[in-house]
Structure formats: structure tokens, C-alpha cells
Amino acid sequence: MPELPEVEAVCKKLRKEAVGGVIAEAFVLRPGSVKPQYPADLDNAVAKTILKLERRGKNILLHLSGGLALRVHLRMTGNLFIIPDARFHSAQVRVYFRFRDGRGLVFEDTRALGRVTIHEETALDGLMEKIGIEPLSKGFTAAKLQSMAKKSRKPAKIFLMDQQHIAGIGNMYAAEALFRAHINPKQPIQAVTKRKIEALHKAILDVLRKAMKDAVRSYSKPGSYQQMDFAVYCRKAKPCNVCKQAIARIVQGGRSTYYCPACQR
DNA sequence: TCGATCCTGTAG
DNA sequence: CTACAGGATCGA
């Protein structure tokens, strides 16, 4: 489930507990979770201190001493958190680090689609260059969105989910933002009117900020993501809150898209 | 830009 | 049993 707000919530919680931690040992319980690297590469984290933790799009970056950084991507079902004793971790944990003080930094991931990789800081910069603008940053203005939209012929929904344009928006919040802005997900983003692009800009901010509050709240208990009240997402055939028309489900880029055919023309 | 792929779990 | 799940990447 994690999109930007959920990943941000994970980071907030983790930052307090993990920064300053010294890694004593790395354990790869599922080799696939560290691909395309070798499990042994994570051993390079041993004896390093976690200096700083940040989020970039949906990536969690743990900067270590010695010019290295861990990159964690939660994908669909991942979660990253601290446990008091590294020895007592759940069966779903794919990778974990034991701190010198005995605590565990664990990467739990039911579907095992997520990844934990280690990089030289310089190499990481290269990877992160491809990630688009942070939607909650100052630079993300309606004008900026407009200028990006003008250059893309992608359907609006696909455009929003493309991490190279805007970082951190996934399937749920893309659908919700488009609904609020009355934009048809199939419409080429290029062809969306300036007025609607402005509405979309506001919708993105509103949806993400709202979800951020929910996500932070829900993280008092680890392991579960809060869901906001969705207007269209996962509401196939249910009546639209605004016009009572049945919410439609279509497939775009192999993913479900939910929208109101009446409100989003 | 489409489809396959990486995985497991759950709902119908 | 099949369909579907909030993501990203790769090759055709």
C-alpha cells in the first residue's frame, strides 16, 4: 500500500529510533529481497552508523558513515521498523540488521517485491536523479505541473503515476486526485485544460496532505496502513458520492483505474 | 506502450 | 479454482 504519505510516515517514526544506530550484523533471509545485488553486499553496512534518514519519492534512504547508503523500497507490502530485540522477528521479515545495542532494524515484506540495496553515495545520486519532483516541495507549483503536462502525451493517470515526473504518487492517490479535479484518467495529460491542471495541482496536495495525517496516526501501531475514505478507489459499481452514477473500473498500464464516468469527462 | 515478471495472500 | 492487490522494470 505504501505511496508517498505512508512512506513518509515510516520515515518519521524510524528517524527518531534509527538515526545514531550502529549496524553490527546484516541478515538476508530472502536473497530475492536484495536483488540485483548479492546478499553479501549488505555486509558492507557492518560497523557503519546511520547518520541520516530521508525519503525520496517512495524510496527510503539511510545514509551511513563511510560514504554508503541503504536504499529501501517497500513496493506493495513492505514495511521497515525497529524492534527491541533483533532475535525476535516475525516470519515475514526478509532482511534485518542487528544494531550494536541489540535492537533490530527489520524489513518485513509479505509479497517480497520490495528491495533493500546498498550503494555508494555517488551511485545513489545517479539513481535518484531519475526521480521526479517532490509534490509537497515548494517547487511543485501549478505552473510547474502545467509545464510538465504540456510535454507528455500519456493518459492522465499514467502520467501521475510516472515517478520520473512526480515522485511518490501511486494507484490510489492518482485515482483520487483525478476524481477531485474532474479529469478523465484516459485523457492525454497534454490535452487537459489549464483550469483543470490547476485543479489537479490542488487535488494532489489535498489528497497527499490528508493521507499524510491518516498515515501518521495509523503508525502508532506498526504494520498496518490506514486507508482514507476513498471517493473512487476500490469502489467499482458503487454510486459516486457526487452524482450517484456507478463508479467504473478500467485497466491502464496493467493496473486498475477507478473513476466516475459522469464527473470525469 | 503493452505484456510479462517478480511474490504471497485473500476474496469471490 | 480465478482474479486481483497500493509498484517498478525490462524486453518486444
**Residues A75-103 pLDDT 10s:** 999 999 999 999 998 989 999 999 999 99
Helix (H, G, I), strand (E, B) or coil at A256: strand
Confidence of residue A221 (pLDDT cuts 50, 70, 90): very low
Nucleotide nearest to A170 (CA to C1'): C6
Task: Report the C-alpha gap between A47 and A45 in whole angstroms.
Answer: 6
Q: What is the distance in angstroms measured between the alpha-carbon CA of A167 and the sugar C1' of C9?
A: 16
Contacts of A36 (CB under 8 A, 6+ apart): none
Would the pLDDT of A220 be above 60?
Answer: no
Strand B: protein residues, Cβ closer than 7 A = A 32, 110-113, 153-155, 158, 252-254
Task: Report the C-alpha gap between A64 and A52 in whole angstroms.
Answer: 7
Q: What is the distance in angstroms measured between the alpha-carbon CA of A52 and the sugar C1' of B11?
A: 41
- Whether A2 is a known active-site residue: answer yes
Catalytic pick among A48, A55, A58, A98: A58
Q: What is the CATH topology of the domain spanning A142-259?
A: Helicase, Ruva Protein; domain 3 (1.10.8)
Task: Report the C-alpha gap between A49 and A24 in whole angstroms.
Answer: 9
Confidence of residue A217 (pLDDT cuts 50, 70, 90): low
Q: Which residue is nearest to nucleotide B3 (CA to C1')?
A: A254
Q: How is chain A split into domains, by residue range?
A: 4-128, 142-259
**Residues A171-208 pLDDT 10s:** 999 999 999 999 999 999 999 999 999 999 999 999 99
Position A224 scores a pLDDT of 46
Which nucleotides of chain B does any protein CB come within 7 A of? 1-9
Contacts of A158 (CB under 8 A, 6+ apart): A252, A253
How many other CB atoms are there within 10 angstroms of residue A254's CB atom?
A: 5
Of chain A, the percentage scoring pLDDT greater than 70 comes to 95
Confidence of residue A166 (pLDDT cuts 50, 70, 90): very high
Nucleotide nearest to A253 (CA to C1'): B2
**Contact between residue A81 and residue A14 where contact means Cβ atoms under 8 Å apart:** yes
Handedness of CA A6, A12, A13, A14 (dihedral sign): positive
Which nucleotides of chain C does any protein CB come within 7 A of? 4-9
**Residues A35-91 pLDDT 10s:** 888 888 999 999 999 999 999 999 999 999 999 999 999 999 999 999 999 999 898
Nucleotide nearest to A155 (CA to C1'): B1
**Contact between residue A118 and residue A127 where contact means Cβ atoms under 8 Å apart:** no
Of chain A, the percentage scoring pLDDT greater than 90 comes to 83
Nucleotide nearest to A227 (CA to C1'): C6
Strand C: protein residues, Cβ closer than 7 A = A 1-3, 6, 57-58, 73, 75-76, 111, 113, 161, 163, 170-172, 225, 227, 234, 249, 254-256
What number does CATH give the domain A4-128? 3.20.190.10
Q: Does the bond joining A36 to the residue before it have cis omega, within 30 degrees of 0? A: yes
Confidence of residue A218 (pLDDT cuts 50, 70, 90): low
Q: Give me the residue label for grid cell 525520496.
A: A56
Position A259 scores a pLDDT of 94
**Residues A232-263 pLDDT 10s:** 998 998 899 999 999 999 999 889 999 999 99
How many other CB atoms are there within 10 angstroms of residue A244's CB atom?
A: 10
For the whole model, what pTM was predicted? 0.94
- Whether A3 is a known active-site residue: answer yes
Phi, psi of A139 (to 5 degrees): -70, -15
Task: Report the C-alpha gap between A42 and A93 in whole angstroms.
Answer: 16
Q: What is the distance in angstroms measured between the alpha-carbon CA of A48 and the sugar C1' of C4?
A: 41
Position A222 scores a pLDDT of 38
Position A223 scores a pLDDT of 40
